[in-house]
């Protein structure tokens, strides 16, 4: 078993089949991590939500399955101990502008001592699309502005350790085209607020494999974040074992070019920082 100070490469975002849109047992993700020389992985399955509009099949585990999720990750942790991969149990929580719903989600999250809470606003969810319509947000410009406003407002709640795929609004056809420069002021406000509250952004490599094949966040946003001094976690957002560590080699090189010196990860909701920016071994 590797000790904390030997941890050099982490992948802090991956799923289990309980969400209904991921495949592969958690143990397979652990084996894949071991094969790639990744020292620590964090499962972050989508949090159960009780409300209609969030609870559709194929999106998230049922509320009653939370203990099963914890057990699955525990089994993976045991295998990880054998293979030299530290395995943590996190959760991908939602961001939604209804404090009542968020409080109920908090109660769900409080049922287990999670290592890491990722915050995601899944703008593709029908419930959020309905909310946009109800609030008169029809144009791409307004939808993107609203997205970053809601992210910014989520920061002072201190509910999340890191913000997953911070510009996922660009995906799934929610807007026709995402042009960060048009939203510089509101994106910078989000970045500055995350900095002020000492919360992380996620570098999410899955964006390079789908949609418009761009890293989350967009390299322009990375430049602004580097200027401000934001901290980052990293995740492959794997929904199948083969994706663990996907695109890490090229992304580490990009982060280095951008002047990003290190990455963070969370254990028991406490932040840890890698000694230096990782390098993928054996490539
Ligand atoms: Zn998912
Ligand atoms: Zn995810």
Residue 62 reports pLDDT greater than 80: yes
Model confidence over 25-36: pLDDT tens digits?
Answer: 999 999 999 999
Longest distance between any two alpha carbons in the chain, whole Å = 54
Residue positions counted in the chain: 283
Q: Where are the alpha helices (DSSP H) in the chain?
A: 26-36, 66-83, 99-109, 126-134, 140-154, 184-196, 219-228, 248-257
pLDDT of residue 56: 73
Q: Which ligand is nearest to the CA of 92?
A: 2
CB 281 within 8 A of CB 37: yes
pLDDT band at 226 (very low <50, low <70, confident <90, very high): very high
Q: Which ligand is nearest to the CA of 22?
A: 1
Distance 21 CA to ligand 1 centre (A): 6
Model confidence over 101-129: pLDDT tens digits?
Answer: 999 999 999 999 999 999 999 988 889 99
Distance from C-alpha of 7 to C-alpha of 16, rounded to nearest angstrom: 23
Class of domain 4-273: alpha beta
Q: Which ligand is nearest to the CA of 124?
A: 1
Q: Is 27 helix (H, G, I), strand (E, B) or coil?
A: helix
CB-based contacts of 191: which residues, under 8 Å, 6+ apart?
201, 221, 224, 225, 228, 230
Distance 215 CA to ligand 2 centre (A): 14
Beta-bridge mates of residue 208: none
Mean pLDDT lowest among 42-56, 64-78, 177-191, 262-276: 42-56
Q: Which ligand is nearest to the CA of 119?
A: 2
Distance from C-alpha of 163 to C-alpha of 149, rounded to nearest angstrom: 13
Distance 44 CA to ligand 2 centre (A): 7
List of E strands, 12-66? 40-46
Tell me the average pLDDT of the chain. Answer: 94
Beta-bridge mates of residue 235: 204
Find the Cα–Cα–Cα–Cα dihedral 86, 89, 90, 91, rounded to 10°.
Answer: 140
pLDDT band at 283 (very low <50, low <70, confident <90, very high): low
Pairing of strands 270-273, 264-267: antiparallel
Distance 43 CA to ligand 2 centre (A): 9
Mean pLDDT lowest among 125-129, 142-146, 157-161, 228-232: 125-129
pLDDT of residue 19: 95
Handedness of CA 19, 21, 27, 30 (dihedral sign): negative
CB-based contacts of 83: which residues, under 8 Å, 6+ apart?
30, 31, 34
- How many other CB atoms are there within 10 angstroms of residue 141's CB atom? 13
Distance from C-alpha of 196 to C-alpha of 95, rounded to nearest angstrom: 19
pLDDT of residue 52: 80
Distance from C-alpha of 222 to C-alpha of 2, rounded to nearest angstrom: 31
Q: Which ligand is nearest to the CA of 13?
A: 2
Model confidence over 164-213: pLDDT tens digits?
Answer: 999 999 888 788 899 999 999 999 999 999 999 999 999 999 999 988 89
Identify which of 168, 258, 274 has the alpha carbon closest to the alpha carbon of residue 215. Answer: 168
Distance 212 CA to ligand 2 centre (A): 18
Q: Which ligand is nearest to the CA of 206?
A: 2
Percent of the chain surpassing pLDDT 90:
87
């Amino acid at each position: 078993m590797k000790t904390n100070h030997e941890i050099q490469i982490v992948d802090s975002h991956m799923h289990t089949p309980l969400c209904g849109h991921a495949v592969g047992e958690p143990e397979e993700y652990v084996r894949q991590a071991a094969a790639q020389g990744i020292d620590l992985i964090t499962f972050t399955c989508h949090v159960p939500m009780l409300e209609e509009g969030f609870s559709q099949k194929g999106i998230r585990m049922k509320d009653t399955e939370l203990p099963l999720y914890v057990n699955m990750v525990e089994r993976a942790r045991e295998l990880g101990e054998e293979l030299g991969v530290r395995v943590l149990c996190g959760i991908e929580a939602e961001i939604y502008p209804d404090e009542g719903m968020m409080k109920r989600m908090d109660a769900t999250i409080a049922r287990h001592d999670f290592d890491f809470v990722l915050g995601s606003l899944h703008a593709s969810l029908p419930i959020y699309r309905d909310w946009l319509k109800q609030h008169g947000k029809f144009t791409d410009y307004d939808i993107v502005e609203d997205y970053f406003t809601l992210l910014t407002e989520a920061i002072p709640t201190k509910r999340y350790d890191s913000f997953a795929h911070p510009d996922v609004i660009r995906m799934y056809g929610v807007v026709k085209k995402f042009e960060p420069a048009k939203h510089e002021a509101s994106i910078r406000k989000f970045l500055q607020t995350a900095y002020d509250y000492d919360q992380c952004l996620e570098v999410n490599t899955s964006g390079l494999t789908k949609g418009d094949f761009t890293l989350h966040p967009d390299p322009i946003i990375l430049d602004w974040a580097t200027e401000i001094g934001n901290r980052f976690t990293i995740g492959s957002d794997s929904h199948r074992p083969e994706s663990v560590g996907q695109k890490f080699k090229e992304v580490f090189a990009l982060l280095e070019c951008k002047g990003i010196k290190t990455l963070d990860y969370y254990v028991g909701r406490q932040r840890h920082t890698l000694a230096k920016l990782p390098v993928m071994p054996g490539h």
